[in-house]
Structure 1
Amino acid sequence: MTEYPTALGAASRERITLLGTDLADDVMGTVGFGELAFWLATQRRPTPGETRLFEAVLAALADHGFTPTAIVTRLTYLSAPDSVQGALAAGLLGGGSRFLGVTEDCGRFLHENLGDGPVDEIALEVVRREKAAGRFVPGLGHHVHKDGDPRTPRLYAIAEEEGLVGPHLELFAAIGRVHPQVLGKTLPLNGAGTCGAVLADLGLPLELLRGFALLARTAGLIGQLAEELRNPVANEIFLSVDLNNKPVPPQPN
């Protein structure tokens, strides 16, 4: 008989095991969801400090107002109120390079540019290279928080308090210090990018960093739907477009 080994969830007639523990006796009511999510991804139980920092990342990414992901979730629910899963999925599918995806983009970018030597010199070389190539540095700048993203200093403070400032956060901070020399202007380190640096320093799989952003945003989208039930705005958003369309002649490519 073929066997499929797993250290995750497994069930028998009498019990359910998860990560080598008894789900009912050892996990439920004992392990918080953030701690469990970290544990599931790494198959090692995080320290209290790691849990605190990881959950701070989840809180930072949970909701950021009427972003495209929130709007599409509300509009999908308006169109198909019988499909909560469809509404949530619609919002999550919008997690890409402009919203949410920067968490993974920044974590990967920092990891690829870690090196030996003074960190500010490495950061300066990185920013110069990206500018010369006509590329943006992931995590640098924000369309709203132009004078500083309030999530960023808080994440750095928690990481410092827990002794978890690692090479990714150090490089990102250095980019924040040196980039005005190259770009001629000062841009904030955005919270989503800082989250990517944190997750990379925590040793979470780089390939899954966007997944943690989506995990956090799922909670936010449930909140958006809950608020839509109490105070609906989706129909007004829909009508504001539908009733204000402007017919124009065809414009062939």
Structure 2
Amino acid sequence: MSDQPAAAEPRRLTTREAADRLGVKPETLYAYVSRGQLGSRRAPGGRGSTFDAAEVEALAARGTRREPQPSGADLAFRTGVTLIDPDADRYYFRGVDATELAGRYGYEEVAEWLWTGTLRPGTRFTAPPEALAAGQRAVAALPAHSTAMDRLRAAAVAASAADPLRFDLSPDAVLGTARALIPTLVGSLPPVAGAPGDAAAEAGAAGDAENDRDGADSDRTGLARGLWRRLTARTPDDSSLAVLEAALVLLIDHDLAASTLAARVAASARAHPYAVVSAGLGALEGPLHGAASGLAHRMLAEVLERGGAAPVVADHLRAGRRVPGLGHRLYRGEDPRAAALFALLDRVPAAGPALAAARDVVTTTARHTELHANVDLALAVLSVASGMRAEAGEAVFAVARTAGWIAHALEEYAERPLRLRPSGHYNGPRPPRALPLPVPLA
């Protein structure tokens, strides 16, 4: 037997002592434990936990006094898709100015480049017949009052079910899925009654088969043309289609918006691309995200009906509501997407009244607060001027953003699985508690 004295047990702190030393709540202390930042041991008798005093001191020295923010504002991770420069009110896709891309290339061309790094002029996406038929059947089975977002979600699920290889997450397979899914979503939407015919769009929203595809002058509005006839019965002119095409490009991605984060979380769990897009569509439908353009549409329609923005803006302010289509948390001045679309809308004669109404809203509101137009207001000008329903802007947003969700999914599939697993900050009653008593049915 050794004559050496037993080593002294390191001093341990109770939960309250450790929390006080770190300057946090007990709930936060346990959050540190769940993250692996701090070890714990059950106290004698099994009541509560104890903490190594030296480990607590080391954690305090690292400056972990600040309460973790449950809002998710501190959630950040690497992405090479979009950079937003709030000082210059500009944004970039893979380092290239997004507004310049929208002025030069079509949606399918930019999406392909964003995914692969290769720009292929004249790129067209085609819906597989099986997937398109499944999407159209699913949409046709929905109630008549279903929204465009209802139909897009149904089409995504139906296309997924029609693809037995959807679980292949190799880059080539994901790209193939993306190229097929986007035209399937568009082609699954029913054309508006009385819309001008477009056989190629009906067959998959892939563009006019007669278009010249040999050079840079080929028609770049294939997908946009197919989407147009599903949003309005009016015959499009070239300038109107150019606005819709540019809107699709500009809305492809915008950093980690709520829907993009939802898509990346799904991809982190190794959900297949259809499920990733479904996750994005679900988050997009909120009134503070994709549905915001519908609010701006209704406001512009009311401004036109009442002959000016002043009474409409006054009603919003009186009711304590924000004026739709104004302000963006990431830009100090005008949303660059709105600026680009307004410049194109200036070339559309039919957009004149709605564009004037939008500018009247901005000018009227500026008397009280300095808020600039955002992309929702620009989409509203397009939808009002083109005789589209209020939900049209949301549909444009959803179709466009699908390409961005796929780009983020490709990034996330290359990362460690399930890395997007934050810890919850539990603030409920502390255990142990007695089982709840049942309440008799009335």
8 Å Cα contact 1:19/1:43 also seen in 2:
no
8 Å Cα contact 2:293/2:391 also seen in 1:
no
Deviations 1:129-156 (A, max 9, x none): 2111111111111111132211122111
Name the structure 2 match of 1:146: 332
The alpha-carbon deviation at position 106 of structure 1 amounts to 0.7
Letter in 1 for 2:301: H
Q: 1:209 and 1:167 mapped to 2: Cα distance? A: 18
Deviations 1:162-199 (A, max 9, x none): 43433222111111112122x3x211111122212222
Equivalent of 2:197 in 19, 34, 38:
19
Name the structure 2 match of 1:15: none
Name the structure 1 match of 2:387: 203
| CA distance 1:36–1:233, change in 2 (3 Å) | farther
Structure having greater relative contact order (Cα 8 Å, sep ≥ 6): 1
| Equivalent position SS for 1:136 | coil
Equivalent of 1:158 in 344, 357, 377:
344
Q: 1:235 and 1:80 mapped to 2: Cα distance? A: 8
Q: 1:163 and 1:202 mapped to 2: Cα distance? A: 11
Q: 2:417 and 2:290 mapped to 1: Cα distance? A: 22
TM-score, normalised via structure 2 length: 0.46
Letter in 2 for 1:202: S
Equivalent of 2:403 in 186, 208, 219:
219
TM-score, normalised via structure 1 length: 0.77
Q: Is residue 2:232 matched to residue 1:42?
A: yes
Q: Is residue 2:276 matched to residue 1:97?
A: no
Unaligned runs of 5+ in 1: 10-17
Equivalent of 2:274 in 74, 85, 88:
85
The count of corresponding residues between Structure 1 and Structure 2 is 223
Deviations 1:49-98 (A, max 9, x none): 111011112222221111110111111122243x3211111111111111
Map of 1:1-253 to 2, 5 A cutoff?
Answer: 19=197, 21=199, 23=203, 27-28=208-209, 30=211, 32-43=222-233, 45-81=235-271, 83-95=272-284, 96-115=286-305, 117=307, 122-181=308-367, 183=368, 185-230=369-414, 232=415, 235-238=418-421, 241-242=422-423, 245-250=424-429
| CA distance 1:210–1:228, change in 2 (3 Å) | same
Letter in 1 for 2:199: T
The alpha-carbon deviation at position 200 of structure 1 amounts to 1.9
8 Å Cα contact 1:140/1:193 also seen in 2:
yes
8 Å Cα contact 1:108/1:206 also seen in 2:
yes
| CA distance 1:233–1:189, change in 2 (3 Å) | farther
Letter in 2 for 1:89: S
Root mean square deviation of aligned Cα: 2.8
8 Å Cα contact 2:259/2:281 also seen in 1:
yes
| Equivalent position SS for 1:62 | coil
Q: 1:156 and 1:234 mapped to 2: Cα distance? A: 42
Q: 1:72 and 1:229 mapped to 2: Cα distance? A: 14
Unaligned runs of 5+ in 2: 1-139, 141-186, 188-195, 212-220, 431-442
Deviations 1:10-67 (A, max 9, x none): xxxxxxxx9363659x833636111111123335552211110111122222211111
| CA distance 1:53–1:233, change in 2 (3 Å) | farther
Letter in 1 for 2:209: M
| CA distance 1:94–1:126, change in 2 (3 Å) | same
**Bigger shift: 123-132 or 63-72?**
123-132
| Equivalent position SS for 1:99 | coil
The alpha-carbon deviation at position 113 of structure 1 amounts to 2.9
Q: 2:419 and 2:237 mapped to 1: Cα distance? A: 46
The alpha-carbon deviation at position 102 of structure 1 amounts to 0.9
Q: 1:233 and 1:155 mapped to 2: Cα distance? A: 39
Name the structure 1 match of 2:65: none
Q: 1:234 and 1:170 mapped to 2: Cα distance? A: 50
Q: 1:142 and 1:48 mapped to 2: Cα distance? A: 30
| Equivalent position SS for 2:360 | helix
| Equivalent position SS for 1:172 | helix
Sequence identity percentage: 24
- Structure label with greater radius of gyration: 2
Q: 2:233 and 2:312 mapped to 1: Cα distance? A: 33
More helix by share: 1
